[in-house]
Structure 1
Amino acid sequence: MPRPTNYNQDRRDRDRAKAAKKADKLAAKAEARLRGKAGSELQSEPESETEE
């Protein structure tokens, strides 16, 4: 006879996977923001240098 399903373990596994996926998305989003800020700073600096 097979073992009964451990629903609590299954739920914990799903929750861990979901949390890891969410953390990866948030990290990617934060990195994209930093790249965007760095890119906009780089673009604005040459403009200010030419004005001087």
Structure 2
Amino acid sequence: MARRPNYGQQRAEVNRGKQSKQAEKQRERDEAVARRKAEREAAAPAPPPAAEGKPDR
């Protein structure tokens, strides 16, 4: 006699696959953001140092 299908287990496997795929995409996006930010900071000149004794308001 064959076993009944366990739909909950199948659904959980599908959800785990989706979650891992989403996590991989998000990791790639975060790496791209960090890379662009590093390029932007390297290209931009450093801001001038603040004058001492003068409070910022």
Q: Any unmatched runs of 5+ in structure 1?
A: none
The ranges of structure 1 where at least 4 consecutive aligned residues each deviate by more than 2 angstroms after the TM superposition are: none
Q: Any unmatched runs of 5+ in structure 2?
A: 47-57
Query: How many residues are paired up?
Result: 46
Q: CA RMSD in A?
A: 1.3
Relative to the length of structure 1, the TM-score reads 0.76
Aligned residues with identical type, % of pairs: 37
Relative to the length of structure 2, the TM-score reads 0.70
- Name whichever structure is richer in helix by fraction: 1
Q: Which has the larger radius of gyration?
A: 2
